[in-house]
């Protein structure tokens, strides 16, 4: 690691001899493989962006200029080159550095990222602010071809093109989203992306004319003007961008040259860089989708098949079971085929499987259209990414009362991906959607039967929310009831739903040994809330402890308090254990539960505190 060790500042990186850059890139790749194989994280995208990031840091000043990585999962090299090399062992660990850009972490991270397709819009805003406040910095957005399947990107591009603000958009095109990319733009890019032979020819041509810069420049101008007159440059040109590319994204000097050119233009410029996902680590080159996000692994052995039954797999299996006898059932995803457990379904029922790219808003409106015409769409989506579709949920699904089923995966804490990915808010925002039903299974058996119920027995919009990972000790199926008392008791009423049933039951068990008798009531239908049984219990025990993997707003606990107030039930004490304002940073789910007092001992401690509190006079 000779060269990498030398780099402490941006000036050090700029001082590296161009001849040494390929060696530096090799060292960075070894560093990434070594560290990410220990901590887990987004490997393949970062390996593909090594030369691109080095070039960006040699052309721009990451502290003064604003370099925005869309999604931000590919920003590890940027972190490495901006003072965080020694903290890489803490990547995605509790209190360690985040796996995404994080302004609290470094001035070189100008904006929080985690969700796709918004970097161009943020860049537009920063460029406008620069003009209005007469700032002196450059604005660059680095966007993947996957993120370009998101409509938001085009709103940003159209705006920048029209504003004429000098912004450089780098399109990092590896032909991949998490899986192979889909859609018309992906096809257009693959046409523009030329074969390696083209890059070889270009390199040789540049070398040949290296000593005659005037001739190179003259020929280049002739070629560009000819290209512009004879060949339409595609949508980027039409939107007001100077299109530069395609550039071999693993030829650092070529990327650097293109960036310098784009920077000098002082108009909107789009630099199309072609990269290979997983570059430099054979297993990741061969299976880039498997190496998109990884748990810890042994680099020499590569990823081992660590399949374990989780809620996503159970969802996928249930969809297969239902689709066998139902040609009207369709599964829809927004670039998350594997993550949502639909890969087997996609192979078995290709006509009933619809993959839309990173287009959650479109997915929801599209499902509404399908439902209106007699199909039952099930949109499998992570809780935090569904936030993107709020207006379509309200208007196209809610107000239209369309029977769209939302399979809301990763509801509650997701762990190491951190603050942008925690599924904290789905109950809050889905509760605002007209005519919405929200079901919360606690076990695989319940997920399976609640999904079936959502598809065949309920009408209007239905969300089934379930967590990341596996079920706990609770494995029963109580899905025929809206609320169910799992344990009787007279001192306190513990109300829970979904996966938090495990903590609630464990806490009640342990309280029992200490002479505190806790009643545990599990809510299966979170919305509309069927509260009679709970209110009866509260009249008896006078104490409420709610245990929820959701933010406080619109939580079951808060709604129960509202109902108690409305019905004149005076409580002796209340503890709402939940995700608070929903802003929860990275760590393992277990660590975060503990920190929030949501693990079994935290729940038990809260109950004890409550029971031993003096009754209000």
Ligand X SMILES: Cc1ncc(C[n+]2csc(CCOP(=O)(O)OP(=O)(O)O)c2C)c(N)n1
State the catalytic residues: 277, 360, 388
Position among 24, 116, 331, 600 found at the interface with ligand X (CB under 6 A)? 116
CB of 338 to ligand X, least distance (A): 10
Using the rule CB under 6 A, is 147 a contact of ligand X?
A: yes
Residue 73 near ligand X by CB under 6 A:
yes
115 binds ligand X (CB under 6 A): yes
Q: Which stretch binds ligand X (CB under 6 A): 67-75, 88-96, 371-379, 543-551?
A: 67-75
Give dist(CA 219, CA 221) in Å, integer. Answer: 5
CB closer to ligand X out of 392 and 516: 392
State the minimum distance, in angstroms, from the CB of residue 178 to ligand X: 5
Q: Which is nearer to ligand X, 329 or 331 (CB)?
A: 331
- Phi first, then psi, for residue 169 (nearest 5°) are -105, 120
Contact 615, 572 (CB under 8 A): yes
Asked if 310 is part of the footprint of ligand X (rule: CB under 6 A), the reply reads no
Cα separation, 285 vs 244, in Å, equals 26
Structure tokens at 372: 């209106």
Angle at 193 between CA 266 and CA 293, to 5 degrees: 95
Residues 6+ apart with CB under 8 A from 272: 171, 173, 189, 192, 193, 236, 243, 244, 245, 246, 247
504 binds ligand X (CB under 6 A): no
Least Cβ distance, residue 45 to ligand X (angstroms)? 4
Is residue 485 classed as helix, strand or coil in its secondary structure? strand
Q: Which is nearer to ligand X, 335 or 499 (CB)?
A: 335
The answer to whether 592 and 584 are in contact (CB under 8 A) is yes
Shortest reach from residue 217's CB to ligand X, in Å: 33
By the rule CB under 6 A, 144 interacts with ligand X: yes
Task: Decide: helix, strand or coil at residue 494.
Answer: strand
Among the candidate windows 66-74, 317-325, 348-356, 526-534, which touches ligand X by CB under 6 A?
66-74
| Using rule CB under 6 A, residue 500 touches ligand X | no
C-alpha distances (whole Å) from 513 to each of 204, 507, 508, 573 are 79, 10, 9, 22
- CA 273/CA 271 separation, integer angstroms: 6
Separation between Cα atoms, residue 261 and residue 385, nearest integer Å: 36
Residue 170 sits in the site that holds ligand X (CB under 6 A): no
Nearer to ligand X, 40 or 597 (CB): 40
State the residue for tokens 């603000």.
165
Judged by CB under 6 A, which stretch of 170-178, 257-265, 307-315, 529-537 contacts ligand X? 170-178
DSSP β-bridge partners for residue 406 = 379, 463
Stretch that binds ligand X, among 18-26, 59-67, 143-151, 434-442 (CB under 6 A): 143-151
For residue 51, give both structure tokens.
Answer: 């030369």
- Contacts of ligand X in 42-61 (CB under 6 A): 45
Q: Which is nearer to ligand X, 380 or 447 (CB)?
A: 380
CA dihedral defined by 374, 375, 378, 384, rounded to 10 degrees? -60
Judged by CB under 6 A, the residue of 37, 74, 340, 576 near ligand X is: 74
Q: SS3 sequence, 247-275?
A: EECCCHHHHHHHHHHHHHHCCCEEEEEEC
Exactly one of 83, 96, 146, 461 binds ligand X (CB under 6 A); which one? 146
Which position among 13, 24, 36, 71 is part of the footprint of ligand X (CB under 6 A)? 71
Tell me which stretch binds ligand X (CB under 6 A): 145-153, 189-197, 468-476, 481-489.
Answer: 145-153
Judged by CB, which is closer to ligand X: 53, or 483? 53
CB of 292 to ligand X, least distance (A): 6
Q: Does 177 bind ligand X (CB under 6 A)?
A: yes
Distance separating alpha carbons of residues 522 and 500, to the nearest angstrom: 9
**Minimal distance, residue 467 CB to ligand X, in Å:** 17
Is residue 593 at the binding interface for ligand X, with CB under 6 A as the rule?
A: no
Size of the site for ligand X (CB under 6 A): 20
Query: Applying CB under 6 A, which of residues 358, 504, 592, 604 lies at the interface with ligand X?
Result: 358
Could you say whether residue 27 binds ligand X (CB under 6 A)? no
Q: List residues bridging with 99 in a β-sheet.
A: none
Cα separation values, 529 from 109, 412, 552, 590, 598, Å: 42, 19, 16, 28, 22
Instruction: Please say which residue, 274 or 440, places its beta carbon nearer to ligand X.
Output: 274
In the bound state with ligand X, the residue whose beta carbon lies nearer, of 409 and 548, is 409
* Distance (Å, whole) CA 71 – CA 119: 8
Nearer to ligand X, 142 or 538 (CB): 142
Which residues 260-299 are close enough to bind ligand X by CB under 6 A? 277
Q: What is the DSSP string of 164-206?
A: T---EEEEEE-SBSSSB--SHHHHHHHHHS--HHHHHHHHHHH
Nearest distance, CB of residue 526 and ligand X, angstroms: 24
Closest separation in Å from C-beta 335 to ligand X: 4
Of 45 and 483, which has the nearer Cβ to ligand X?
Answer: 45
Q: How far is the CB of 68 from ligand X (least distance, A)?
A: 13
Shortest Cβ distance from residue 358 to ligand X (Å)? 5
Among the residue ranges 29-37, 139-147, 261-269, 548-556, the one whose residues contact ligand X (CB under 6 A): 139-147
The binding track of 371-390 with respect to ligand X, each residue x by CB under 6 A or -, is --------------x--x--
176 binds ligand X (CB under 6 A): yes
In the bound complex, what is the minimum distance in angstroms from residue 181's beta carbon to ligand X? 7
HSE of 209, CA atoms in CB hemisphere, 13 A: 13
Token output for 215:
């001739």
By CB under 6 A, tell whether 96 contacts ligand X.
Answer: no
Q: Rounded to whole angstroms, what are the CA distances from 346 to 113, 121, 352, 357, 552?
A: 30, 33, 8, 14, 36
Tokens 């590569």 belong to residue: 302
**Residue 410 or 525 with smaller CB distance to ligand X:** 410
* Three-state secondary structure string covering 544-573: EEEECCCCCCCCHHHHHHHHHHHHCCCCCE
CB-CB neighbours of 217 under 10 Å: 11
Beta bridge partner(s), residue 139: 66
Q: By the 8 A CB rule, do 148 and 120 touch?
A: no
- Residues forming the site for ligand X (CB under 6 A): 45, 71, 73-74, 115-116, 144-147, 174, 176-178, 277, 335, 358, 360, 385, 388
């Amino acid at each position: 690691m000779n060269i990498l060790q030398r780099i402490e500042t941006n000036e050090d990186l700029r001082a590296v001899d161009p001849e040494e850059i390929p060696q530096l890139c090799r060292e960075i790749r070894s560093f990434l493989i070594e560290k990410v194989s220990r901590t887990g994280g987004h490997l393949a995208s970062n390996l593909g962006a090594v030369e691109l990031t080095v070039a960006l840091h040699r052309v721009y000043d990451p502290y003064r200029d604003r370099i925005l990585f869309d999604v931000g999962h590919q920003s590890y090299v940027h972190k490495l080159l901006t003072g965080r090399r020694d903290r890489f062992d803490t990547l995605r660990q509790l209190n360690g550095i985040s796996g995404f850009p994080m302004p609290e972490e470094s001035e070189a991270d100008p904006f929080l990222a985690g969700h796709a397709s918004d970097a161009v819009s943020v860049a537009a805003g920063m460029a406008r602010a620069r003009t209005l406040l007469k700032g002196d910095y450059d604005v660059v957005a680095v966007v993947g071809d996957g993120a370009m399947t998101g409509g938001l990107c085009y709103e940003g591009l159209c705006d920048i093109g029209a504003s004429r603000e000098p912004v450089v958009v780098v399109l990092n095109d590896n032909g991949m989203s998490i899986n192979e990319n889909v859609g018309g733009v992906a096809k257009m890019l693959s046409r523009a992306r030329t074969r390696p032979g083209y890059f070889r020819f270009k390199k040789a041509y540049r070398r040949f004319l290296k000593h005659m810069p005037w001739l190179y420049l003259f020929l280049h101008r002739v070629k560009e003007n000819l290209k512009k007159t004879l060949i339409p440059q595609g949508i980027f040109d039409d939107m007001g961008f100077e299109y530069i590319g395609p550039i071999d994204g693993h030829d650092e000097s070529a990327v650097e040259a293109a960036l310098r050119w784009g920077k000098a233009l002082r108009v909107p410029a789009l630099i199309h860089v072609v990269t290979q996902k997983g570059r430099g680590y054979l297993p990741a080159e061969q299976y880039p989708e498997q190496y998109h996000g990884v748990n810890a692994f042994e680099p020499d052995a590569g990823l081992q098949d660590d399949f374990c039954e989780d809620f996503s797999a159970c969802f996928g299996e249930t969809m297969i079971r239902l689709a066998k006898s139902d040609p009207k059932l369709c599964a829809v995803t927004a670039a998350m085929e594997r993550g949502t457990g639909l890969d087997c379904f996609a192979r078995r029922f290709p006509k009933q499987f619809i993959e839309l790219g990173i287009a959650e808003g479109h997915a929801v409106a599209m499902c509404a259209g399908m439902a209106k015409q007699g199909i039952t769409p099930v949109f499998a989506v992570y809780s935090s990414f569904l936030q993107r579709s709020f207006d379509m949920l309200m208007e196209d699904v809610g107000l239209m009362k369309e029977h769209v089923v939302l399979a809301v995966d990763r509801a509650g804490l997701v762990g190491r991906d951190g603050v942008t990915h925690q599924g904290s808010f789905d109950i809050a925002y889905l509760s605002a959607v007209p005519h919405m039903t929200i079901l919360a299974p606690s076990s695989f058996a319940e997920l399976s039967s609640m999904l079936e119920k959502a598809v065949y027995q309920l009408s209007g919009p239905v969300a089934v929310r379930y967590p990341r990972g596996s079920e706990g000790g609770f494995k029963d199926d109580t899905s025929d009831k809206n609320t169910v008392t799992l344990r009787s008791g007279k001192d306190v009423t513990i109300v829970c739903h979904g996966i938090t049933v495990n903590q609630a039951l464990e806490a009640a068990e342990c309280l029992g040994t200490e002479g505190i008798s806790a009643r545990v009531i599990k809510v299966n239908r979170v919305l509309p809330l069927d509260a009679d049984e709970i209110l009866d219990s509260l009249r008896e025990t006078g104490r409420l402890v709610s245990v929820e993997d959701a933010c406080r707003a619109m939580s079951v606990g808060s709604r129960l308090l509202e109902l108690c107030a409305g019905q004149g039930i005076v409580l002796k004490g209340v503890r709402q254990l939940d995700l608070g304002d929903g802003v929860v940073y990275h760590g393992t789910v277990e660590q975060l539960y503990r920190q929030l007092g949501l693990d079994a001992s935290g729940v038990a401690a809260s109950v004890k505190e409550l029971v031993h509190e003096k009754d209000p006079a």
